[in-house]
Amino acid sequence: RFFPRTYQDRRSFTALHHFSSDAQNLALVTIKFVHESPPKKMSVLKVSISDGKTEAVAVWFNQSFLKKTFKPGLKLIISGKKEYNRFLNLDQIVVSETEVLMTDNALKEATGKIVPLYPHLQGMSAVTHRHIMKEIIQHLVPIIDPLPDMLRKSLHLSGLQESYKAIHLPNSTEGIEKARQRFVFDEFFYFQLKLGKTRLLSKKGNPSQPLTTSGNFCKAYLHRLPYVLTNAQEKAISDI
């Protein structure tokens, strides 16, 4: 299963002037200007951005390849933190994740909803990756759920097909959590089934032989102990 690694709630964004240094902030911005920077050991890409009301400087470390893509007017969704630059004596936004929105349709598909973020695949953009997964889920043939309805309802688990849709095309955080619970249950359930089958086959193929003894050695050993066994200890010995 190729599940999302995390999600971003893009039903609303944080204004640039409200960016904090304590947690990741999410913003929809437009590139105003791409700054030229001299070559250094650590590549630093600086870009002037705007959210329509506030302008700021965003910084990408060791991602110089983005310079070929970044152009004035291009829209981005960025996730990052505000950081004070002591050398320039100003606040800047250190970007940790970026999504480039090349078209108006990409902007529409990437905003106003909870968006799944998948593990990075070389040569494939996040937008293309989500589009492929969306097509797969929307054209998914009906899945026969192996868990009986009675069992699912008693454990408060969602259906398998419903869970696939909720995990890849989420409508709410609650739906994501219910889908996650279903897949976690399946993983442990089938793992336990496999272990149970292995134990059953092991018992059938190699039945253990009972240990028989007259008990004289055990009695002699117990007689030498400087204390009397408790009832619980005697019961444990008898069980063994």
In DSSP terms, 57 is beta-bridged to 48
Per residue in 150-208, pLDDT (tens digit) is 999 999 999 999 999 999 999 999 999 999 999 999 999 999 999 999 888 887 776 66
Per residue in 75-124, pLDDT (tens digit) is 999 999 999 888 878 889 999 999 999 999 999 999 999 999 998 888 88
HSE (side-chain half, CA atoms, 13 Å) at 164:
17
Angle at 228 between CA 224 and CA 230, to 5 degrees: 135
When pLDDT is averaged across residues 45-64 and rounded to a whole number, the result is 92
Band of pLDDT at residue 229, cut at 50, 70 and 90: confident
- Residue 2, pLDDT score: 81
- Residue 228, pLDDT score: 86
**Summary mean pLDDT of the chain:** 89
CB 161 within 8 A of CB 154: no
